[in-house]
Amino acid sequence: MSNPTAVFEHAFYIGSYLSGILYGFELIVYFSTIRRLYKRAVNGHTWGFFFVYSTVLFILVTIDMSTNAVWGEIMWIDKRDNPGVSTFIVENLSVWYQIMGSTTVVAMVLMGDALLLHRLYLIWGSNIWVVVLPGLVYCGTLTLGILELVSSFKPGGFFLSGKAENFGTPYYSITICMNILLTILICARLYYLSKQAKKMIGFHAAERYTSLAAIMIESAVPYTVMGIILLPFYARGNDIAIALGQVWSKLTCLAPQMIVLRIVSGRAWDRQIVAQIHSGQWSTDQETVSQRTGDGYGKDLEKSEEVYGGEAAVSTLKSASPAR
């Protein structure tokens, strides 16, 4: 006799293991961020914001991991024989701690997309018009996300079927399409700025901002690509979406956290760097070529020896820059 929940169980099992790996990366990135913040501690609301933002993301993803772990333990161990795995799945898809776990995912999506919108605004030279359409879409995803949660966790609700799917499909579709738009706009802008930076100060001096890895992290490419993979499986109600959704949900935390780490490490694009490229003058002053806040709010945090790896690196940067 075939098991009607076999695909679901396999997907949940595989997704849980992949999520554990990504959670390990999140631990590394989070504590690296906190270490950077304490090491370069200064007075200012900017750094307090990054601490709170990173910590909230970390707490949310931890809750998501914990609820999935508890649900899996009860399903496969405590309730394996009575009432049985298949019956447990049907009866406990909308248990309270699953509600809490799914709510944390929606919250992480909103937080991550908000950061991407802000980064888009800064990278495009503080141009408000470039974020108008994505901003309106963002407001729509907030409403749909709430409706999807409410419908998913009514008695007998499941996010792959019924009313939950009616709200969930447009929610995930709009959210992922917005991510695609944001990623394309950020990538295109960074590609243009990277070419200008390389012309101004040379390939090696600009590499910290212009490498492929830098552009992929700044534009949240892995997060967007995973969303593209997830969407068709979810729209079809395929249980494989359980595994893909778990991976995607962890990237909703990891992607913005990696951007924050670049910001606090002085490796992210900010309005000062964008303004320098527009003006055609890249600062080479040893006191000003230094740690950025990544959003143009704060002051330089350290001398260029620490940020660029020593006096030799600063000398190389100066020699690579055009005369002013």
Tell me the DSSP string of 279-314. HT-----TTTSS---SSS-S---S-HHHHHTSHHHH
Residue 249, both tokens: 């949900």
| CA distance to 56, 182, 231, per residue, from 61 (Å) | 9, 23, 21
Cα 279 to Cα 274: distance, rounded to the nearest angstrom: 9
Q: How many CA atoms lie within 13 A of 7 on its CB side?
A: 9
Whether residue 297 is contained in a domain is answered as: no
pTM score = 0.81
Whether residue 182 is contained in a domain is answered as: yes
Cα 276 to Cα 289: distance, rounded to the nearest angstrom: 11
Residue 80, both tokens: 């394996």
Sign of CA dihedral 86, 91, 94, 97: negative
Task: Answer for the pair 298, 44: CB distance below 8 angstroms, yes or no.
Answer: yes
> What is the gyration radius of the CA atoms in the chain, in angstroms?
22
Q: Give residue 57's pLDDT.
A: 96
Domain containing 136 equals 6-270
- Paired with 158 in beta bridges are 161
Whether residue 129 is contained in a domain is answered as: yes
Q: Give residue 127's pLDDT.
A: 86
Cα 242 to Cα 38: distance, rounded to the nearest angstrom: 38
Whether residue 100 is contained in a domain is answered as: yes
Whether residue 324 is contained in a domain is answered as: no
Cα 297 to Cα 270: distance, rounded to the nearest angstrom: 9
Whether residue 322 is contained in a domain is answered as: no
Whether residue 189 is contained in a domain is answered as: yes
Q: Give residue 324's pLDDT.
A: 38
pLDDT in tens, the chain (324 residues): 467 788 888 999 999 999 999 999 999 999 999 999 888 765 456 788 899 999 999 999 999 999 999 988 888 888 887 788 777 777 777 777 877 888 899 999 999 999 999 999 999 988 899 999 999 999 999 988 888 777 766 655 555 545 555 677 888 899 999 999 999 999 998 888 888 877 777 766 667 777 888 889 999 999 999 999 999 998 888 889 999 999 999 999 999 999 999 998 888 887 888 887 777 666 644 333 334 444 444 443 333 333 334 433 333 333 334 433
Task: Answer for the pair 270, 122: CB distance below 8 angstroms, yes or no.
Answer: yes
- Paired with 161 in beta bridges are 158
Whether residue 282 is contained in a domain is answered as: no
Q: Pick from 289, 276, 279, 293: which is nearest to 316 by CA?
A: 289
Q: Give residue 28's pLDDT.
A: 96
Longest Cα–Cα distance of the chain, Å, equals 79
Into how many domains does the chain fold? 1
| CATH code of the domain in which 76 resides | 1.20.1070
